[in-house]
Amino acid sequence: MIQNALSSVDTADTATRILEAAEAQFRHYGYSKTTVADVAKALGMSPANIYRFFASKAELLEGVCARLLGQSQKLAEDCAALPLSAEERLRQYTMAQFQFTVTTMMDERRVHEMAVAAIEQSWGVIDRHIDEIQAILARIIAEGMEAGEFTKGDPAHAARCFGAATSPLHHPQMVAQCIGKDNRAQPEDLTEFAIRALKA
């Protein structure tokens, strides 16, 4: 029993190391130019060992994408749990997601390529993430409606609209296109606009 538990831990640790190396290679060389052999070489292991955990490069990308989205969801859950008003929790959420995107997606060209490949090949992972984030937002908004902060309505619908309105703050391609440009809404302005809409 103990041996099986240790084996499971070792397996999970190896899979994590592979995904970390794959993400580093995708960021440095670009998704299209990276091969499974490149990832294996960076880890000092054979490609066959990579294939024990991931059947293809596309599966590696899906795993990398899931890791990043998991971090994003944890940020959202942490913001939802803050002992603050619903309005302030939404404000904390949007700004935390924006900062996360900026700090984890610095190389615009490489990240753009990764994002496009993920959308084309791993949309199921992204779509599930959107559903999970919207559920968190709906919970915050519902609490805000109950507290009289927001106009009463359908929290799920409001969450979809709030998510769409603030998507330029956490969509890597949109952040890459908009950051630092004077003719784009600033993160704080877009956040306040979306929050005001919930009060209308």
Domain enclosing residue 170, as ranges: 57-199
**CATH number of 3's domain:** 1.10.10.60
pLDDT of residue 89: 98
| Block residue for tokens 């005001």 | 196
Q: Are residues 42 and 118 in the same domain?
A: no
The gap from C-alpha 73 to its chain's centroid, in whole angstroms, comes to: 7
Q: Using alpha carbons, list the distances in angstroms from residue 76 to 30, 138, 145, 157.
A: 28, 12, 19, 18
Q: Are residues 25 and 43 in the same domain?
A: yes
pLDDT of residue 41: 94
Q: Are residues 61 and 51 in the same domain?
A: no
Q: What is the mean pLDDT of each run of 10 residues along the chain (200 residues)?
A: 46 89 90 93 93 93 88 95 98 94 72 77 84 97 97 97 91 72 84 95
Question: Distance (Å, rounded) from C-alpha 65 to C-alpha 122?
Answer: 8
Question: Distance (Å, rounded) from C-alpha 85 to C-alpha 107?
Answer: 35
pLDDT of residue 6: 33
Q: What is the DSSP string of 69-116?
A: HHHHHHHHHHHHTSSS-HHHHHHHHHHHHHHHHHHH---HHHHHHHHH
Q: Are residues 93 and 38 in the same domain?
A: no
Question: Distance (Å, rounded) from C-alpha 92 to C-alpha 82?
Answer: 9
Q: Are residues 77 and 48 in the same domain?
A: no
pLDDT of residue 180: 72
> Which SS3 state, helix, strand or coil, does residue 125 take?
helix
148: alpha, beta or left? (left if phi > 0; alpha if psi -120 to 50): left
**CATH number of 107's domain:** 1.10.357.10
Listed residue (123, 110, 11) closest to 66, CA to CA: 123
